[in-house]
Amino acid sequence: MSKQAPGVRIDGLTVVYKTPAGELPAVRDVSLTLEPGSITGIVGESGSGKSTLALSLLNAVQPPGRISAGSVEIDGLGDVVGLGGEQLRKARGRHIGYVFQAAQNSLNPLKTVGKQLLDLGRSHGVDDLRGLVREAKELLGRMGLDGARVLDSHQHELSGGMRQRVGIMLALVLNAHVVVLDEPTTALDMITQANILKIVREVHAERGLTTLVITHDIGVVAEVADRLAVMYGGRLVEQGPTREVLGSPRHPYTRGLIKAIPRLVGDIDEARALPGRPPTLATVPKQGCVFRERCALRMDVCDDVDPEAVLQGTRTVACHAVTVKEHA
């Protein structure tokens, strides 16, 4: 039943939202490759465009938003941006599983989990519903839950961590091999979070998935992801292997973000918040670097020219200051 993990290539993706001030980009010219079988983490603060980017993988950006340029190629499926109607509906769930941000609240409170599972099966034309239930029980058991009991439960009978696991089960049960997890551990306790992240890693390896994790918490990405991509103001400002990016961040935003994380050891005074605040759709600069208002390395060129994402070894960085240093 297992297929090979598919690769995903996002190329030049731009997503705009219609506002009274015209169409404003929430995601601007983003290119990102998810290698088959890898876990990629996207880190960003509120308004960075990370959730919009994730929704683009399903071609599920809701009006007033729309994908205005670029493509999302998924192996075995083609360009998702070109899909529509019935084709798109079938791809969601079968090809791409999505665990929503509030998995705690995304279940139907009136139906048992089992009934919702059957609804999912029917809407995707699954003939062998018994087999689907068996698969669901197996997945839930794999995640340390009593499958039969969970399928008989309503959402209010499940804890936050259990609901999150139900969300993961529903995303995987149709045998999707591309999985997007949007803020998988927000609102969970530390111990539950550690547990869920372990499950994500293990299930990813066992089922041969290509996984994308969206989060505001660098710690979550550090725990699970092979590659790390940092978003700011709709742009991908830095990406590379997780350990390398964390060990020697190059973009000033990545550096600032890592410095701003409260840690258990080390000098408290060394950590500091970034000055200023993250831009919103309305305040993000129309030209030039999106980060310049908060940047310590700001130069004249940053005001006018949007820095291109430049590949340097294993790392891609979009910063004039870093590029200049490399060439000097």
- Which of 210, 211, 242, 316 is close enough to bind another protein by CB under 8 A? 242
**Helix/strand/coil percent split, the chain, to 5:** 40, 25, 40
Quote the CA–CA distance of 221 and 118 in Å, as a whole number: 33
Question: What DSSP assignment string belongs to 20-63?
Answer: TTEEEEEEEEEEEEE-TT-EEEEE--TTSSHHHHHHHTTT-PPT
- Given 1, 21, 110, 265, the residue binding another protein (CB under 8 A): 265
- Selected from 22, 63, 266, 313, the binder of another protein by CB under 8 A is 266
Q: Applying CB under 8 A, does 262 fall inside the site for another protein?
A: yes
Integer Cα distance of 47 and 33 in angstroms: 22
Considering only residues 41 to 60 of the shown chain, the ones binding another protein according to CB under 8 A are 45-46
129 part of the interface to another protein, by CB under 8 A: no
Q: Indicate the residue among 13 and 162 with the shorter CB distance to another protein.
A: 162
C-alpha to C-alpha distance for 168 and 285, rounded to whole angstroms: 37
Burial readout 219-251 (b: 16 or more C-beta within 10 A, e: otherwise)? ebbbbbbbbbbbbbbbbbbbbbebeebeeebbb
Q: Of 25-33, 56-64, 203-211, 266-274, which segment contacts another protein by CB under 8 A?
A: 266-274
In this structure, the dihedral spanned by the alpha carbons of residues 202, 205, 206 and 208, taken in order and rounded to 10 degrees, is 140
Site for another protein contains 21 (CB under 8 A): no
> Residues 3, 66, 263, 325: which binds another protein (CB under 8 A)?
263
* Binding span for another protein by CB under 8 A among 32-40, 82-90, 215-223, 312-320: 215-223
Residue 263 contacts residue 271 (beta carbons within 8 Å) = yes
271 part of the interface to another protein, by CB under 8 A: yes
Alpha-carbon span 71 to 262, nearest angstrom:
38
Task: Provide, rounded to whole angstroms, the least separation between the CB of residue 185 and another protein.
Answer: 9
**Binding of residue 122 to another protein (CB under 8 A):** no
Mode of pairing for the β-strands spanning 235-241 and 315-317: antiparallel
Site size for another protein (CB under 8 A):
44
Residue 199 CB, nearest approach to another protein (Å): 12
Restricting to residues 141-200, which ones interact with another protein according to CB under 8 A?
144-146, 160, 189-195, 197
57 vs 218, which CB is nearer to another protein? 218
Q: Which residue matches tokens 């190329």?
A: 11
Using CB under 8 A, pick the residue from 88, 126, 246, 310 that binds another protein: 246
Residue 301: how many CB atoms within 10 A of its CB?
15
- The residue with tokens 């490399």 is 326
**Identified binder of another protein from the candidate list 39, 203, 214, 257, rule CB under 8 A:** 257
Considering the rule CB under 8 A, would residue 255 count as an interface residue with another protein? Answer: no
Q: In 143-235, where does DSSP find H-type helix?
A: 147-151, 160-172, 190-207, 218-224
For the record, the structure tokens of 288 come out as 């030039």
Minimum gap (Å) between residue 230 Cβ and another protein: 11
Between residue 65 and residue 94, which ones bind another protein under the rule CB under 8 A? Answer: none
Q: Which is nearer to another protein, 84 or 262 (CB)?
A: 262
Q: Which residues bind another protein (CB under 8 A)?
A: 45-46, 144-146, 160, 189-195, 197, 216-220, 222-223, 242-247, 256-258, 260-266, 268, 271-274, 277-278
